Structure 1
Amino acid sequence: MKFLFIVPMVLALAHGSVVPNPLLRRGTTRIVGGADAPAGAVPYQVSLRQFGSHFCGGSIISSRFVLTAAHCAEAAIAAFTKATVGSNLLNQGGKSYPVDKFIIHEDYDGYVIKNDISLAKLSEPIKFNINVQPIPLPEQNTEGGADLLLSGWGTTTYPGSTPNELQWINLTALTVDECQRRLAAINPVYENQICSLTKSGQGACHGDSGGPLVADGAVVGVVSWGMPCARGYPDVYTRVYSFKAWIQKEMDENSS
């Protein structure tokens, strides 16, 4: 069964129903096979929370905007959502900023999980410090074989519980052709997506959704979907490079 990487309870609160495709599950995932990230090592990492509970990750890309997945935004209610930054621990530290609104890509398709990208506009600007910093968008495309860094609070097993400490792991990018071949019987994979696969027992899981995939110091991917969890199938991310123009346009139009 394939699934989007958020918390089913959040979906129920937002919509009162499951996703259109009965094969899909949206659930919060944790990185499988990773390690505790050192304090301050991932200053762009965001924990999106509703009613104090983490449901998705995100990336700080400016003082007012957080990059995340469309399926995270679709399942959330902006008025009840806060973006917490500056701490590797879910239970303490950091600062929370209210979300003013979510901006979901107009061509997002939750059935085949396409164009799974959104922005969270914050009600007030983030105050940057040594532990809170934006991450740049990529200047070039990400090719197969690229070294990747994934971070998040997704579960470490499936099923499992959300970890308190931020996890991170080094991964390797697949070519789109190879990813399409491996996932052909499960769900389409598009050119505007990135896949990663190192080995069984390593990868994303519930709660990592919307979080950052990084290469060469830039956020190149947004955690989108996968097979639960780290079972030897590729994980799929929205390719940020393909959406740079959309991101910049929406930030410019919603800056006031």
Structure 2
Amino acid sequence: MVLLFAVLCGCAVALEPAFKFDWTPPLEVIPHGPPRGVLVSDQFVLTAAHCVTNFEKSVSSDIAVLKLKTKIKMNSKVSPIHLPKDNVYTGMPLVLTGWGATKTGVQSFSVLQVMSTSAIGLNHCKQAFPWLDSSMFCVYVPESSSTVCNGDSGGPAAYNNSVMGIVSFAAKGCLPEYPQGFTNVFAAKNWIENVMEGSERSASGPSLPIPCTLLVLFLVLVLVYPFL
């Protein structure tokens, strides 16, 4: 098993594209219009934190969990995407969707755009964005002319019906020759689940542990029985 893992890791490193970024582009991809996100249950949505709070240029853990006031009715066209079971890996094929700006004249928030890309290694991404940490990852395809752009913030990067990333940033001017940054959903998975579970517990109200509940019932019976 150890040998197999070593061979797989060796292949992954060997397949990383050889490219070098010689400058750090200023960041852009700011929300225009209502925040965008991805549905992960009938009442919870993931989006970029900078869509709902002040934007920080040294982006890290750029993710927020929103709870809808009312639950969404699921149907054949509306259903939640799964949280990832595994971490994103170098070369993972990803499908991005969003309503952001394009260079083809399509008006923002009018037509859902789709593009295919793949994840690159953190070290390669840090050549362009040195401050990046493991809470984020980048996508990049050297020969692609497509990229995320203004208005795509909070949108998903999906793989195998799981949301692997949340659109966070790109180079100013939406230049496709530089990587695009995403929040690593797997890295934030425990936090997401805790937020969702905590909200559900709060909505159902406080409850006594079972031993305490039994004790209360016993005391009630003791006090009330003489009057029956």
Per-residue displacement from partner, 1:25-50 (whole Å, max 9, x unpaired)?
A: xxxxxxxxxxxxxxxxxxxxxxxxxx
1:208 maps to 2:187: no
Contact 1:4 1:71 in 2 (8 A): no
1:63 is aligned, of 29, 42, 46, to 42
Gapped regions of structure 2 (runs ≥ 5): 1-25, 204-228
What SS class does the counterpart of residue 171 from structure 1 fall into? strand
CA distance in 1, matches of 2:77, 2:175: 29
1:162 Cα deviation after fit:
0.7
| Structure 1 equivalent of residue 51 of structure 2 | 72
Deviations 1:57-109 (A, max 9, x none): 2110011100001001116xxxxxxxxxxxxxxxxxxxxxxxxxxxxxxxxx8
Counterparts of 2:109 and 2:154, CA distance in 1:
17
In structure 2, distance between residues paired with 1:183 and 1:246: 25
User: Which shifted more, 237-246 or 194-203?
Assistant: 194-203
* 1:238 aligned to which of 183, 198, 209: 183
Cα distance in 1 for residues equivalent to 2:38 and 2:85: 17
| Cα distance in 1 for residues equivalent to 2:115 and 2:57 | 29
The aligned runs of 1:76-225 (5 Å cut-off) are 110-157=56-103, 161-184=107-130, 188-199=131-142, 200-225=144-169
SS, match of residue 241 in structure 1: coil
Name the one with the larger helix percent. Answer: 2
Quote the Cα distance in structure 1 between the aligned partners of 2:179 and 2:46: 22
5+ unaligned residues in a row in structure 1: which ranges?
Answer: 8-53, 76-108
Residue 141 and residue 213 in structure 1: after superposition, are their counterparts in 2 closer, same or farther (change >3 A)? Answer: same
Partner SS for 2:37: strand
Instruction: State how many pairs are aligned.
Output: 174
Quote the offset at 1:55 in angstroms. Answer: 3.1
Contact 1:138-1:219 at 8 Å conserved across structures: yes
The sequence identity of aligned pairs, in percent, is 32
Q: Which amino acid aligns with 2:198?
A: E
The answer to whether the Cα contact below 8 Å between 1:183 and 1:233 also exists between their aligned partners in 2 is no
Q: Which amino acid is 1:169 matched to?
A: M
CA contact 2:48–2:63 (8 Å) conserved in 1: yes
Determine the C-alpha separation between the residues in 2 that align with 1:67 and 1:226: 19
CA contact under 8 A between 1:180 and 1:189: conserved in structure 2?
A: yes
Per the TM alignment, residue 111 of structure 1 is displaced from its structure 2 partner at its CA by: 3.5
Contact 1:157/1:205 (CA < 8 Å) preserved in 2?
Answer: no
User: Is the contact between residue 28 and residue 174 of structure 2 (CA under 8 Å) also seen in structure 1?
Assistant: no
CA apart distance, 1:192: 1.4
> What's the TM-score once normalised by structure 1's chain length?
0.64
- C-alpha deviation, 1:114, in angstroms: 1.0
Q: Provide the rounded CA distance (Å) in 2 between the counterparts of 1:158 and 1:224.
A: 22
Instruction: Give me the TM-score of the superposition, normalised by structure 2.
Output: 0.72
Tell me the distance in 2 between the aligned counterparts of 1:141 and 1:220.
8
Contact persistence 1:171–1:196 (CA under 8 A) = yes
